[in-house]
Structure 1
């Protein structure tokens, strides 16, 4: 293999796996490796990970990559970028040694602390500062819980790190905070892009003391040290950039390289990216974050709660007839549903599906919304029902895109990766729903570490531009144009989709509260009956 070639290393410390690739300057993957992540649940509502495991698994991955690629490739790695799940609370001492396990974003033990902080700051002021609804998933309440319940460990704490910044520290000896993950902590003043004094005061700490220096996502924070090189099999002196969240890295893996290109990472849930020229207001349902793409300084990223999950729900709960047919004929159930959906007309003969089976994140941000079928009648066919599922999730996508367009987002085309990119029917519906072309990426594309590699490749000059790196690395399988007749139908039906939910919002909120009360009462009655039954038997 020629020593003249240049290479890049991208890694993602995900929730369930840590994965990494070595990417060649021609866009080919030279080596890849992964290791599973382990969760620790020390008590109710507690989710943790051991940062020492992050590093141990990273070392194994680096060693595997080096062995696969060989010394000539490793010598020519031009840069490293690492992303991670976020937000985590990892306290480390002055030497960078973890003083306890990291609390991950799933950890919800600090509900009381969250309410205290919101009351202290004031709800409206809190939202204006952090640019989002207060949630137990984020950092302020976790730090306060740690400070209250583990004061001796807190006294040893010098800094709070994210998963990627801890691995970066082990590689370089430099503690850092990347601006992308910082915007997701709810510790940052989003208007000033600096650590919030008000949030810090509510916690009772100076955030500037505990949060490492802020870096742009593609800013070089340091180089691989000799000690790290000896441990990992890498070469000392490789530049390491600050990196970003796995969400931001997935945007680069989609191949977005210029303003107007939007992206959807489509799986069980979806994550939507839409670029903007200007920073948004902070009181909007979806806000902008800094972006490292030239000509696209800001990006809206918006999560949708159920996309592929809605289709799987339909298969599990309602599609016994279709499952049986597929089993008899050796067909894939999802391929079959794609075919059946196309037998119904656009608009599913007036049947609307609102896919809020687990509540909704963007742009509604509530957990009480629930799924709805609207427009059922005696003439409804199975094909109408199936198509309405595809259309309902596409209406949810349009709701996000329309929301960010009103706030300055620019969406002229949509690139889709993940499991959702395998459905041509879904892509046809989305193209007409958004009235823009949809680019389906090859199955080999869209892996988060590739996005990391593209980010650092653009920074260190391996690629002349991000667009060049995307062209070499990200392969488009097909471009689907809107169907004008479908688009006209969806324009009419979308207005009803939005209005139906708006009219039911308050009722769904009250109903959800009452349902939870009823379920709790029924559970208690069942437990009493079981206890009485055991007493009778005894």
Structure 2
């Protein structure tokens, strides 16, 4: 279907950056812009963001990318799809005005409320309803915390929104949330796809009143208003899609197109995806979600809490000598650590690193899990210490993938994107820890806004299908095969990694 559109916009409201790209009909990125997001930490285990800053940044970014096109090209933009980090809690008034800073997925202040709600519903019953293990990141307990600690603001609150639904509201005037993020809130009944009355009763909060209407990711929910067009530079009347979580957009951007492929979006945290044709039970460590990809009705997606952040923690706290040496050489500290790690043997002399620096999500779902080194000896080297960080995060990845295999996912390769994909050392280690070929995508492929843009292109008819868009836009830079000698070492050490936690 030729609609005449030759451009679409994809935007991701990430935890650290907001980024938008304009995708052209030949699969190339025609324009891009981004700005960092500010985090506020008002107390222990608290993390917030300012929704008005989101909007200011979105306006600047959209004006920036559209300005990179000529006027006649801007008229051929077919639509926009926006994803965001999940789960946030943004309380807004009846007219959509933010009343409190958004509590992000990293906010852990509501642990007591989580235990209370889960106990009232019953742990097994709760898992049956929402299709996942409770964790402090999710929405019910955030709302209850807000009700108890900010009662005056709670009384003024009409809606609780995600980052993308807030921006969609500013663009269109339509209050909604998308099905993908709704499924991730732990407020939605997995079977009925309605806001759970049982969880509402346990909270003492009517979720059906406070949570908006649910739309599909690729549903056109409205059009850009004249006011929003003036603020953002977008064409007035341009279609706006429902959008999704950054996880789903990353899965599309990774280019998963068949059963057997597994994907990792490797950044501060990691998100792992694998398709399946069988819906999982609700009471397993990682559950399936509906998937928009043809011939892949269900998708596992599993978050690892600390991936790139583990390496950053090492740099910030323990890598003083390495930072000095990198500065002396005039090289980036990450590049130097990649080089240094390869000076140690596979297995790091038996030193195991457990990357549970902020608890762990999949497959443990344990907020109390703690990071640790096990196996230190007097003869340990700085190279071994460095390599153990790369290996420990790779073991965490294998722990997830082994869990997915046990639940029916057939996995024969790993497709990897994100900031972590730039580390060839890390990719080599992952290939050997997993004993799978690793397909490293180029820096444009796998970028979350590309996934958003591909969904918009599919809906607007810029591409005949999502598969055509993936084929034109997603490119593999390198395929890394496992090192047989490294595989032997990691196969011996991995069981110890699992047993030490247990």
With structure 2 as the length reference, what TM-score do the two structures score? 0.88
Cα distance, 1:24 vs. partner?
Answer: 0.8
Aligned equivalent of 2:391: 391
Deviation readout 1:479-521 (Å, 9 max, x if unpaired): 112233433433333223222332xxxxxxxxxxxxxxxxxxx
Deviation readout 1:338-387 (Å, 9 max, x if unpaired): 34444444444544433334433221222443444445567766555544
Supply the distance in 2 between the matched residues of 1:312 and 1:104 (Cα, whole angstroms).
Answer: 20
Cα distance, 1:152 vs. partner?
Answer: 5.2
Supply the distance in 2 between the matched residues of 1:323 and 1:107 (Cα, whole angstroms).
Answer: 30
Aligned equivalent of 1:222: 222
Supply the distance in 2 between the matched residues of 1:136 and 1:429 (Cα, whole angstroms).
Answer: 31
Q: Quick check: 1:478 aligned with 2:478?
A: yes
Deviation readout 1:320-346 (Å, 9 max, x if unpaired): 665555555445554444344444444
Name the SS of the counterpart of 2:91 in structure 1: strand
- Taking the TM superposition and a 5 Å limit, the aligned residue runs for 1:326-405 are 326-376=326-376, 383-405=383-405
Aligned equivalent of 1:121: 121
Deviates more, 1:35-44 or 1:141-150: 35-44
Q: Are the aligned partners of 1:276 and 1:296 in contact in 2 as well (CA < 8 Å)?
A: yes
Supply the distance in 2 between the matched residues of 1:331 and 1:253 (Cα, whole angstroms).
Answer: 30
Cα distance, 1:6 vs. partner?
Answer: 0.9
Supply the distance in 2 between the matched residues of 1:59 and 1:405 (Cα, whole angstroms).
Answer: 43
Aligned equivalent of 2:254: 254
Q: Quick check: 1:179 aligned with 2:179?
A: yes
Q: Are the aligned partners of 2:262 and 2:412 in contact in 1 as well (CA < 8 Å)?
A: yes
Q: Are the aligned partners of 1:264 and 1:272 in contact in 2 as well (CA < 8 Å)?
A: yes
- Taking the TM superposition and a 5 Å limit, the aligned residue runs for 1:455-474 are 455-474=455-474
Aligned equivalent of 2:25: 25
Q: Are the aligned partners of 1:139 and 1:186 in contact in 2 as well (CA < 8 Å)?
A: yes
User: Based on CA coordinates, which of the two structures has the bigger radius of gyration?
Assistant: 1
Supply the distance in 2 between the matched residues of 1:414 and 1:82 (Cα, whole angstroms).
Answer: 26
Q: Are the aligned partners of 2:218 and 2:455 in contact in 1 as well (CA < 8 Å)?
A: yes
Deviates more, 1:36-45 or 1:99-108: 36-45
Aligned equivalent of 2:91: 91
Distance 1:20 1:281, change over 3 A: same
Aligned equivalent of 1:527: none
Q: Quick check: 1:14 aligned with 2:2?
A: no
Aligned equivalent of 2:192: 192
Aligned equivalent of 2:286: 286
Q: Are the aligned partners of 1:164 and 1:243 in contact in 2 as well (CA < 8 Å)?
A: yes
By relative contact order (CA 8 Å, sep 6+), the higher-ranking structure is 2
- Taking the TM superposition and a 5 Å limit, the aligned residue runs for 1:50-449 are 50-151=50-151, 153-315=153-315, 325-376=325-376, 383-449=383-449
Q: Are the aligned partners of 2:135 and 2:367 in contact in 1 as well (CA < 8 Å)?
A: no
Name the SS of the counterpart of 2:451 in structure 1: helix
Name the SS of the counterpart of 1:10 in structure 2: strand
Distance 1:213 1:113, change over 3 A: same
Cα distance, 1:422 vs. partner?
Answer: 2.0
- Aligned-residue CA RMSD (Å): 3.0
With structure 1 as the length reference, what TM-score do the two structures score? 0.83
Q: Are the aligned partners of 2:136 and 2:367 in contact in 1 as well (CA < 8 Å)?
A: no
Q: Are the aligned partners of 2:83 and 2:164 in contact in 1 as well (CA < 8 Å)?
A: yes
Supply the distance in 2 between the matched residues of 1:315 and 1:50 (Cα, whole angstroms).
Answer: 28
Distance 1:88 1:380, change over 3 A: closer
Cα distance, 1:189 vs. partner?
Answer: 1.6
Deviation readout 1:292-321 (Å, 9 max, x if unpaired): 222222222222233334444555555566
Name the SS of the counterpart of 1:26 in structure 2: coil
Distance 1:59 1:123, change over 3 A: same
Supply the distance in 1 between the matched residues of 2:285 and 2:147 (Cα, whole angstroms).
Answer: 31
Deviation readout 1:110-136 (Å, 9 max, x if unpaired): 444334323322233223322334344
Q: How many equivalent residue pairs? A: 500
Supply the distance in 2 between the matched residues of 1:340 and 1:50 (Cα, whole angstroms).
Answer: 39
Supply the distance in 1 between the matched residues of 2:149 and 2:381 (Cα, whole angstroms).
Answer: 58
- Taking the TM superposition and a 5 Å limit, the aligned residue runs for 1:456-535 are 456-502=456-502
Distance 1:373 1:211, change over 3 A: closer
Supply the distance in 2 between the matched residues of 1:375 and 1:149 (Cα, whole angstroms).
Answer: 44
Name the SS of the counterpart of 1:293 in structure 2: coil
Aligned equivalent of 1:510: none
Supply the distance in 1 between the matched residues of 2:45 and 2:372 (Cα, whole angstroms).
Answer: 30
Structure 1 residue runs without a partner (length 5+): 503-538
Cα distance, 1:99 vs. partner?
Answer: 4.5
Deviation readout 1:32-67 (Å, 9 max, x if unpaired): 233443455667765444434433432333333332
Cα distance, 1:208 vs. partner?
Answer: 2.5
Deviates more, 1:191-200 or 1:99-108: 99-108
Cα distance, 1:454 vs. partner?
Answer: 1.4
Distance 1:386 1:12, change over 3 A: closer
